[in-house]
Amino acid sequence: MPKGEEDAPEPTLYALKQLRKSDVIRLKQVEHIQNEKNILELCRHYPFITSYLTSWQDRASLYILLEYSPGGEMFGYLRRAHRFDNTVAQFYAAEITLILVFLHNHGVVYRDLKPENILIDARGHVKLVDFGFAKVVGDRETYTLCGTPEYLSPEVIQSKGHSKAVDWWALGVLIYEMVLGYPPFYADSPIQIYKKIVDSKIVYPTWLQPNTRDIIQRLCTKDLSARLGNLKGGGYEVMRHPFFNGINWRELEAQRMDGPLVPKLRYHGDTQYFETYDPAGPSPDEEYPESMFVEYDHLFRDF
C-alpha cells in the first residue's frame, strides 16, 4: 500500500504482475519482458492503457505494479453476451483505435490484440494490458513470430517481415469477433487457422451492417498497400471510416461518458470478474537455483 493511504476508508487497489525468472529464461522471454516494462513506462499516462506504477525484483521473481481494472477481461463479457450490439462494438473498437494511433505515433507495434488482453475499468472503458509482445519498431520491420493464432496477419505467418499494419489487421479480427461472437479464421489446429488466414476469405452473415462489413474487409486485407491503417493517413484514416459515424473522438478520449459495459461491483475490492488461482509453488531456491542465478541474473540488472 502506498504511503499516505494506510488510513484511507477505501484504499486504492493495484494489480501486481509476477513473473518467475526461471520461466522468463526458459521461455526466452527476457527481451520481451524488458520491452514490456519500457513500453509501459512510455504509456503510463495514456487513459486506455493500464497505468504502470513501478517495478522491482527479488531473488526468484520480477514484479510489475499496475493500475487495477475491476471489470476483468472483455473476453468474459463477450462469452456471456455471445456477441455485442453494433453500438457496443463501435464504442470499444473506437477506444482500441485511439490506443493503436497513440502507440504507432510512438513507434510501437502491439502485436497481441485480442479480447483477453482488453480489460474493462470501473466506468466501462478499456484498459489494454500485456505488452509482452509489443516492440518499438519505428518505421522498420521485424520478423519475430508472435501473437495469438486467430489474430495473426498473413505477413506474420509467411515470415515476410511485419510492422504496425499487423495491429490494424487484428482490429478487423476483433471487430468481427465482437459483432459475431467468434473470430473470422477458426479451425481445430493452428496450421488450419494459418491456411485460412493466408487465403483471407471471410464469410459474412447477410444481417451484418454494411459499414461494419466494409471496415472489416478493409482492415483484414492481405494487400498491405490497401490495408486501412497502413495507408498515407495511417490510423486517422481508420477513425474517418463510416463505421465510426457518431463518435466524438475528443469526448471519447476524455472519457466524458461511461462505457456500455460497466461492471456491477458489489463492494470495494470485488474481484468477481477475475478467476482465482493457487499462488503456491516451489521455494525460491528450488525454483531459481544458485547455478541459474550466477549464469543469468545479470540479464535482469536494469529491471
What residues act catalytically?
Answer: 112
Enter the C-alpha cell of residue 218.
478493409
Enter the C-alpha cell of residue 161.
517481415
Q: Which of 113, 264, 287, 94 is nearest to 183 (CA)?
A: 113
- DSSP, collapsed to helix, strand or coil, labels residue 80 as helix
Kind and range of the H or E element at 17?
A: strand 14-20
Close Cβ partners of 119 (under 8 Å, ≥ 6 residues apart): 50, 69, 71, 72, 73, 74, 126, 127, 128, 129
Residue type at position 225: S
Rounded-to-integer distance, Cα 290 and Cα 171, Å: 44
Cα–Cα separations (whole angstroms), residue 2 to 61, 228, 247: 21, 44, 38
**Side by side, which strands form the sheet with 52-57?**
14-20, 61-67, 52-57
Close Cβ partners of 77 (under 8 Å, ≥ 6 residues apart): 84, 120, 261
SS3 content of the chain, % helix, strand, coil (to 5): 40, 10, 50
